[in-house]
């Protein structure tokens, strides 16, 4: 059976991990924002801005790590806009998020075009290359499947555990979770609800921006308008699938990556009698099914989408 043989190929697992990487960043970022009670639909725009700014910074000579930092700062600044609109001003998080996506996408494109007004194809940078880890990369099967990824994939996985540890085990994590569940209790402890929420949105947004930067600095080596192609929205769904838990977010992203890697391989197997669109649709359909199963028992942050104003009951 060719259908099952696909799973025996190390390249399939490597592809799943590659495809999952931007989703891991995006879902982690969305999860941090939502844990603090703020839905961040600016994600698609933040992805685009991160993809553009990181790549542009590298092209201008900032170096790869410099590019990542620039992307993170840009993400945090966009997060600040969303934070101010939704936290102290208490505006609709949905509307503000969509607005931020539109703004960030447009500004990213505007910056791109004003910097490079007359190009026939965008300039290429030297992107992150797959790392060769001694011993691990040379293991049979496991090596090519898991240990020949770029630095950013390992960064994404490390962040899963760091974010998980901070949220679950530190006073800061407790405060973030509390502000998303019961902001009044945080306020009564003398902590700033606004500060915590805006801070969480900024940090979450900077991690989202890394997801975008992965596309232009590791998965590919140039920025194309529209290349984010809905990846941000998938992260919003994955966050619910993960019930706001970082390790489940990693699992969800990997599952989606595997669906996607599987469908491109399956398409050439049975493409002659099943229309290609069925396969392109499959990861999304499977995600929706997974979401239905997972979201029934979802434990929402109780104050998600609920603005809080000091002194108001």
Asked if residue 52 binds other proteins (CB under 8 A), the reply is: no
- With CB under 8 A as the contact rule, the residue among 69, 73, 84, 98 that binds other proteins is 98
Segment interacting with other proteins (CB under 8 A) among 32-40, 119-127, 158-166, 170-178: 119-127
Pick the piece of the chain touching other proteins (CB under 8 A) from 55-63, 112-120, 179-187, 289-297.
Answer: 112-120
19/167 Cα distance (integer angstroms): 26
Interface with other proteins, residue 43, by CB under 8 A: no
The H-or-E segment that residue 253 falls in is helix 246-270
With binding defined as CB under 8 A, does residue 271 bind other proteins?
yes
User: Residue 276 CB, nearest distance to other proteins (Å)?
Assistant: 5
Quote the CA–CA distance of 83 and 74 in Å, as a whole number. 14
Residue 272 binds other proteins, judged by CB under 8 A: yes
> How many CB atoms lie under 10 A from the CB of residue 279?
21
CA atoms of 240 and 295, how far apart (whole Å): 6
In the complex with other proteins, the residue whose CB is nearer, 27 or 48, is 48
**Between 154 and 225, CB nearer to other proteins:** 225
Q: Are 22 and 212 in contact (CB under 8 A)?
A: yes
Q: Under the criterion CB under 8 A, does residue 12 sit at the interface with other proteins?
A: yes
- As a whole number of angstroms, the distance between CA 207 and CA 46 comes to 9
Read off φ and ψ for residue 170, nearest 5 degrees: -115, 160
- How far apart CA 204 and CA 71 sit, in angstroms, is 13
Residue 149 to residue 266: CA distance in whole angstroms: 23
Among 27, 105, 148, 287, binds other proteins (CB under 8 A): 105
Cα–Cα distance measured from residue 306 to residue 14, given in angstroms and rounded to the nearest whole number = 40
Q: With binding defined as CB under 8 A, does residue 101 bind other proteins?
A: yes
Q: Which residues bind other proteins (CB under 8 A)?
A: 9, 11-12, 15, 18-19, 44, 48, 98, 101-102, 105-106, 109-110, 113-114, 117, 119-122, 124, 215, 219-222, 224-230, 233, 260-261, 264-265, 267-269, 271-272, 276-277, 280
């Amino acid at each position: 059976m060719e259908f099952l043989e696909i799973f025996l190929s190390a390249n399939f697992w490597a592809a799943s991990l590659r495809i999952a990487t931007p989703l891991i960043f995006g879902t982690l970022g969305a999860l941090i924002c939502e844990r603090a009670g703020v839905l961040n639909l600016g994600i698609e725009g933040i992805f685009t801005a991160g993809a553009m700014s990181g790549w542009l910074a590298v092209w201008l000579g900032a170096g790869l790590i410099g590019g990542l930092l620039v992307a993170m700062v840009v993400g945090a600044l966009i997060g600040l806009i969303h934070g101010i609109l939704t936290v102290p001003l208490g505006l609709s998080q949905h509307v503000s998020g969509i607005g931020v996506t539109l703004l960030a996408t447009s500004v990213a494109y505007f910056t791109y075009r004003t910097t490079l007004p007359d190009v026939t194809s965008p300039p290429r940078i030297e992107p992150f290359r797959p790392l060769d880890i001694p011993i691990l990369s040379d293991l049979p099967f496991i090596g090519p499947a898991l240990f020949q990824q770029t630095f950013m994939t390992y960064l994404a996985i490390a962040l899963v555990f760091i974010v998980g540890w901070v949220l679950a085990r530190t006073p800061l994590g407790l405060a973030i979770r509390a502000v998303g569940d019961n902001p009044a209790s945080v306020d009564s402890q003398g902590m700033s609800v606004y500060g915590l929420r805006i801070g969480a949105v900024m940090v979450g947004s900077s991690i989202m921006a890394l997801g975008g930067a992965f596309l232009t600095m590791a998965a590919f080596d140039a920025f194309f308008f529209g290349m984010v192609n809905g990846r941000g929205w998938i992260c919003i769904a994955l966050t619910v699938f993960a019930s706001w838990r970082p390790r489940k977010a990693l699992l969800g992203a990997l599952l989606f990556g595997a669906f996607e890697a599987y469908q491109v391989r399956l398409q050439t197997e049975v493409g002659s009698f099943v229309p290609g669109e069925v396969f392109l649709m499959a990861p999304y359909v499977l995600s929706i099914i997974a979401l239905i199963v997972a979201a029934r028992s979802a434990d929402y942050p109780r104050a998600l989408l609920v603005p809080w104003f000091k002194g108001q009951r």
